[in-house]
Structure 1
């Protein structure tokens, strides 16, 4: 049942360092596209004052998340919920103190990103919490690493609707929903964390 993503053990510590500064002190963190569930279990343990809500649209991923949760010793990791980012009106949660989305934006159609920001604006409106994105992004005026260019081509070969997104395009979507980028963090392996909040 448990799945394993090798990158998780490499990127979880750098991500956690940023989360320690970006996350609120309490409340529910909605993790969108939780994948294997390894991040959810790790971050729930790292931030015990926060309630962690993992989600994913894939039944296989939900089963893996549930398997990791079964071995989790704490009480702040909720059962995984099915959530399709592209359909925010149907999200199975009404509010959150923060939203985290790791490695989804480039491995999904653009509609999923549009839905992510639309749903985030609705859920975070009352808490003024952050929307935090992690992954490889392109940036205007910044040379894209050759490895990221190759990754982009491989993604588009798998699915023409996938591919690395421009950070500035995300900023524009955020602005359309009353949000603005508040932080940018460069992380190892040419990945970036972008933090958005109420404008």
Structure 2
């Protein structure tokens, strides 16, 4: 079995995120996680919410690490991870919820646009829910000095990345048929944004 990748941030943020997911995914059944990364969130959330089928996904290079976490946990509600690049063709899926953490500021803006376009096609029924976790700017302004520094680090690493403006992201969601249900303050200057189809 390959060594399991580990993200300290996943350990720190998983409990606050779980509180949001428990409320807004209470009536959901099939969740697609976009950008599962290490796979830690998939295992933790699937174990905590056994009524959900938790479908992890990411680009091909991350799948071995995700599989290592899933194989070690042996949960009944975590199928094999799917390869999903938001800029490529999406696999055919039947889901009523989508979750993504710390992805929008990593991908380019074209990826953010593609993500919402793809999610809008998946979540077409009333009640279908999208939850996105991460840092956001409001009114073009940083919410903290730490986010300003983080954004500078992101752009130095990849000029196409960076903390996204809430208003621009919400406009993409609205164009995809999703209406903002909640904007929840999270620790470490992050947010959980909740959108619902047909809301």
Say whether the fold is shared (TM-score over 0.5): yes
- Partner SS, residue 159 of structure 2: coil
Distance 2:17 2:73 in 1: 20
Tell me the equivalent position of 2:46: 44
2:124–2:177 CA contact under 8 A, matched in 1: no
- Partner SS, residue 132 of structure 1: strand
Using the TM superposition, give the Cα deviation of residue 119 of structure 1 relative to its aligned residue in structure 2, in angstroms. 1.0
Tell me the equivalent position of 2:58: 56
Tell me the equivalent position of 2:21: 19
Tell me the equivalent position of 2:6: 4
Using the TM superposition, give the Cα deviation of residue 92 of structure 1 relative to its aligned residue in structure 2, in angstroms. 1.5
2:173–2:195 CA contact under 8 A, matched in 1: yes
Distance 1:58 1:105 in 2: 18
Tell me the equivalent position of 1:174: 173
Superposed CA RMSD in Å reads: 1.4
Using the TM superposition, give the Cα deviation of residue 171 of structure 1 relative to its aligned residue in structure 2, in angstroms. 1.0
2:109–2:161 CA contact under 8 A, matched in 1: yes
Tell me the equivalent position of 1:65: 66
Q: Normalization by structure 1: what TM-score?
A: 0.94
Tell me the equivalent position of 2:121: 122
Structure 1 stretch 40-49 or stretch 134-143: which is displaced more? 134-143
Matches within 5 A, 1:1-199: 1=2, 2-59=4-61, 61-87=62-88, 90-126=89-125, 128-140=127-139, 144-198=143-197, 199=199
1:27–1:97 CA contact under 8 A, matched in 2: yes
1:24–1:97 CA contact under 8 A, matched in 2: no
> In structure 2, do the counterparts of structure 1 residues 57 and 141 end up closer, same or farther at CA, with 3 Å as the change threshold?
closer
- Partner SS, residue 63 of structure 1: helix
Distance 2:126 2:42 in 1: 21
- Partner SS, residue 119 of structure 2: helix
Using the TM superposition, give the Cα deviation of residue 144 of structure 1 relative to its aligned residue in structure 2, in angstroms. 1.8
Using the TM superposition, give the Cα deviation of residue 24 of structure 1 relative to its aligned residue in structure 2, in angstroms. 4.0
Unaligned runs of 5+ in 1: none
Number of aligned residue pairs: give it. 196
- Partner SS, residue 38 of structure 2: coil
Using the TM superposition, give the Cα deviation of residue 94 of structure 1 relative to its aligned residue in structure 2, in angstroms. 2.3
1:97–1:127 CA contact under 8 A, matched in 2: no
- Partner SS, residue 106 of structure 1: coil
> What stretches of structure 1 move > 6 A for 4+ residues in a row?
none
1:107–1:163 CA contact under 8 A, matched in 2: yes
